Chains A and B, each alone.
Chain A
Amino acid sequence: MGLLFLNALKGLRKKKVQMIGIILCIVLATGIYTAMSSALDRMEDRYHNYLREQNVEDFAFVPKIDYSKDYTKEEIEELKQNELKDLPSDQMNIVNTYQMTIGSENVPNADMLYSYIDYIFNLKLANQKKLEEKIGPATLKYDFSYYTEVAKVDSEDKKLYKAIPYDKDRKINIPYLIEGKMPEEDNEITVLPSFAKHNNINIGDNYKIGDNEYKVVGYAYSPEHILPMISVNSPIFSEKNHNISYMTKNTYDSFIGIEETAYVAAFNDKDKTLDIETISDMLKNDENIAIDMMSFMRIGRVNTLDLEIVTDRIFAKYFMYLLLAISVFVIIVVTKKRIEDEKLQIGVLKALGYKRVKIAVSYLVYPIFGSLIGGLVGFVLGAFASGYLSNIYLSYFNMPIAGYRFNLTYLAEDILVPLIVLSVLSFVIAMFMLRKKPLKLLKEGSNLKVNFFSKLVTLITKKLPFKTRFRYSLASRSLGKLIIVTLTSFCTGLLIVLILIGINMFSSMLDKTFDGMKLKSQVTYIGSMSGTSDTEDYIYATSMVVKEVIDKDGKASKVERKSEDSDKVEDYTINVNGIDNELKLLESKDENGNNNYPKLINDNDTIINQNIAKIINANVGDTLVLKNGDKEFRYNIVAIDNSFMGSLMYVKRAPLALELENDELAYNTKFTDDNKYSSMSNLSKEETEKIANILSIEDLRENLENQMSSSSGAIYVVILFAAIMAFVIILVIANIVVEENKKTISLMKVMGYNDSNISSIVLNIYTPFIIIAYLLSIPVMKRLLEFIVSKLTNSMDFAIPIEFSFIKALIGLIALLISYFIAIFISRKTLNKVPLSVALKRE
């Protein structure tokens, strides 16, 4: 058996291309697995300890203060003398209004009033005493500690800053210092290390935010911002533009920004870990505290990494299996070919008395050799690449990571998994193929038989030119190789189509949404203001629940949205924006490019956008039935806006404001192109205090475009990888085709066919199958994407257009064929080396 194996090993030299192809597949499979697993180890090794050491919050809650009954007029009066004494006049008016309504049965616009009061009281920490009455019992009941966390968000020159007052005694969400020190003096700040790196900030440097200069004294992480989503207006973290700074209380107080408050809790039992849904259920019926949407967002910042680790590990493992499966196909083809080539030898060995098992074992040389070399090389490359991958993770997740840890398990897996899987399968294939009796193997011409598929092909191609018929007959000779090449082309086609649709999907969505936007900022106010403007757009916005859609024939359909995680039916809430005739700074066009605003004529006319239309299945002419509190509203759809992000609905401002018991010029949002709103330092303190949020459209678009370009980078890596795999497989197959047809090639050379003629007949046999496989992949991927997008649209607030043009299809096909023809070109060298004497050999 040793001699047979040695003989097979020597034969490897003649099968260089095939061997390299197998090794490459294994290197890719094991390399990616090792790189991802090692990088994830570094994250995971540190992650749980980090959460524990910094006592990261388990959840954030909102105290359930019932403003309709929890406060008395006297209590409000006391607050007005103390915590609320410095309120600006318009906010004080709101407090006075509230005070007057205490004890009343029917409070007009109660929801809006109470939410303003809640905001003001939280801002001024006026709720403290009431909160202690509410929260105290809850902390005992559920055994947790809590902390009132405040932060300010400021936007300056396209950069987003979150300021947190540093409290060295805080016990929850303890900041993590990496280098330098935490702020001790006023105007000292820490910055995120990634922000420092991308903006060349060293410890000891002065750094300006708005009009104020600060001294950077350290680099620190904010542990509850592992995924640093600083603001909902810029959802994607930008290392260059987003920063979190700790500062002293005094510095914080004078920092200009939009303030937010949160009550963060950590269980006293450090081993207690509950997911947010469980906590939400736990607190569902609690009288004193509750979980809101902000809690889910906050916990997402902490838990997303956990989910990422779990899913990425699964991905790494199954990706390795997928690539090994591809290697299996290649090894099957190569082993089969070898056995066919050596059938005479095998016949002799069997006739001499060698058992089938002994002969079969010698064919394990491919998987053994491939696994040993491929696994080792893959491990080494993966170990190096893991550093790079770790950096990619760190660009998304802010936390310290552990150093590289040599993991013998990965080395063993990288070698043993391919070795066992590929060896077992090769052995089974070899045993199957060696089942023939020696006499049959020794018989000449035993490989002349033509299979049914080949005969069918001959019949179908009868009328075609000779060269084409010849190609098809060669291709049909081995169904196995044909299937492998077709499948490979189909899978590569799927990826190419995904990329071609995907590249433009988001940019098309962004273009359709952001084009026609002349506004630079959207400003949202705490209370309602009053007025009109010639240059800005004043909007009265409120949210309503869409209850029904009534079509032109009067048929009513209920609007229900099912929750992603359970089958619970949820209300579909949308933003209703009351506008004056038309918006100066934001176009509204239908899909044909026609201006929608002139259609908004009557008080109960409405324009909705594509996203809403798709979700509730509504068309122009339908009537929407909505509810705001107890009030029902009916609007006729007169036009559909061709934007895909958000749920946009326009109605006339004055009637809406009046209906909600405001004056007809009331507004709470405005669109402006005034540059002063791009930096908080441009605004007065008085104005800042009236503002609930400023959304910079420019920053949002840039933020999303940046995310797209980095996602595109990842997508290009995937397609490059797919192209390499397809190339390797096609190269191996082409190489085998040349070997298999050596005699035919030699014969043709002897007869007088030149090399390029022979190449075009023998090597181009798979071209039509590759084209067909690619064409089939287009509708399959399109349908798959449409299915995925329909699921996404339901759970998120945007619709995504799926567009795939003829030009794109052509580009994809060209890309695939280039890969194929390069493989063919390389195989021509092998073909050109086939000697003429092969045809003259006697069998």
Chain B
Amino acid sequence: MSNIIYSLKSVKKTYKSGSGITHALDGVSFDIQKGEVIVILGPSGSGKSTMLNILSGIDVPTSGKVKYLDKEIGKYNDKELTSYRKENLGFIFQSYNLIPNLTIYENVELGAYLSEAPLNIDELLKIVGLEDMKNKFPYQLSGGQMQRVAIARAVAKNPKVLFCDEPTGALDEKMGKQTLKLIQDINKKYGTTVIIVTHNPSIANLGNMVIKMNSGKVTDIHRNDEIMNAEDIRWA
């Protein structure tokens, strides 16, 4: 049985704008293994966000093939893409995106509601270390705590893939490392494939595979022989 969860072949994404054509992705090809931590690294404008959008079904490629577990998601319509995200994916954002008027418990419940077999919310809150704060509101939490709630929400529906878009972008070093550790723990505990999109090179050491991007192209793909723990990385 194939261990490949994602397979990309010559994927291109172009945008037409007033000033001409932008090649956000310019012929990208790679495979991602199940259960691994993948880091997509690149500066602003490198195409890494576009890559995340294509992999997560938020956007569709202009050309090329994108397969998820042998299903060509690049050809899905909106309804199919919604189902794909609902049944398979979890998301963590740089800006947390918590609902201000829902309690911490309810914010996690927002994610659990989508699944027919969600994880236990109280247990999840324990894992993220916020079991005592379940009745509080987001405005009462620090940035790091909010991100941990977001992680719990993303994981609540027990997704096969967890997408993390600059998860530590708004956090300081201590909070950032805590967040990354949590992501690693989830990967180890649940076998969730994690795809982290970041511009922070230090985070690359956490991944099983690192994909470097620039100007819409993959400039380098390498596997790390040694996976660092989140607490040990040098913060850039």
Contacts and interface: CB of A to CB of B under 8 A. Distances in A.
A-B complex is real = yes
A754 B83 CA distance: 8
A477 to B, nearest CB: 5
B45 interface: no
A121 to B, nearest CB: 86
A610 B159 CA distance: 74
B137 A744 contact: no
A752 B109 contact: no
Contacts of A477: 100-101
A743 B93 CA distance: 12
Interface string A418-448: 0000000000000000000000000001011
B106 A843 contact: no
A601 interface: no
Interface stretch (B84-92, B122-130, B179-187, B222-230): B84-92
B97 A752 contact: no
Interface string A832-843: 000011011111
Interface in B69-87: 79, 82-87
B137 A450 contact: yes
A747 B58 contact: no
B169 A473 contact: no
A744 B99 contact: yes
B139 interface: yes
Contact of B102 (A470, A750, A753): A470
Interface residues of A, number: 33
Contact of B114 (A474, A753, A843): A753
B134 to A, nearest CB: 12
A466 B82 contact: no
B36 interface: no
A465 to B, nearest CB: 10
A751 interface: yes
Centre residue among A466, A476, A743 by max chain B CB count within 10 A: A466
A163 to B, nearest CB: 77
A750 B79 CA distance: 12
Nearest to B99: A744
A748 B82 CA distance: 10
B139 A747 contact: no
Interface string A742-766: 0110011111111000000000000
B58 A836 contact: yes
| Majority-rule SS of A interface residues | helix
B110 A470 contact: yes
Contacts of B56: 750
Contacts of A458: 101, 103
A365 B190 CA distance: 55
A445 to B, nearest CB: 7
B202 interface: no
B138 A837 contact: no
Contact of B91 (A751, A754, A843): A751
B95 A842 contact: yes
A631 interface: no
Contacts of A474: 101
B47 interface: no
Interface string B112-140: 01100000000000000000000001110
Nearest to A465: B113
Nearest to B87: A752
Given A466-B106, A754-B79, A840-B165, A743 B97 contact: yes
Nearest to A450: B137
A843 B101 contact: no
A504 interface: no
Nearest to B136: A450
A476 B101 contact: yes
A302 to B, nearest CB: 64
A449 interface: yes
A235 B25 CA distance: 84
Contacts of A749: 82
Nearest to A446: B139
A448 B49 CA distance: 26
Nearest to A748: B110
Contacts of B100: 447-450, 477
A670 interface: no
B95 A751 contact: no
B114 A450 contact: no
B26 interface: no
Contacts of B111: 751
A837 B94 CA distance: 13
B162 to A, nearest CB: 12
A469 interface: yes
B101 A839 contact: no
B61 to A, nearest CB: 15
A454 interface: yes
Given A469-B106, A837-B58, A840-B58, A747 B97 contact: yes
Contacts of B93: 839-840
B83 A752 contact: yes
B114 A445 contact: no
Given A469-B106, A752-B114, A843-B95, A454 B101 contact: yes
A750 B163 CA distance: 11
Contacts of A750: 56, 58, 85, 91
Interface in A446-482: 447-450, 454-455, 458, 466-467, 469-470, 473-474, 476-477
Contacts of B58: 750, 836-837, 840
Interface string A122-141: 00000000000000000000
B142 to A, nearest CB: 11
B169 A450 contact: no
B44 to A, nearest CB: 10
Contacts of B138: 448
28 contacts: A445-B139, A449-B139, A450-B139, A454-B101, A466-B106, A466-B109, A470-B102, A473-B101, A473-B106, A476-B101, A743-B97, A744-B99, A747-B99, A750-B56, A750-B58, A751-B91, A752-B83, A752-B85, A752-B87, A752-B89, A753-B114, A754-B86, A836-B59, A837-B58, A839-B91, A840-B49, A840-B53, A840-B58
Interface of A: 445, 447-450, 454-455, 458, 466-467, 469-470, 473-474, 476-477, 743-744, 747-754, 836-837, 839-843
In order of increasing CB-CB distance, the 3 nearest A-B pairs are: A752-B86, A473-B101, A448-B139
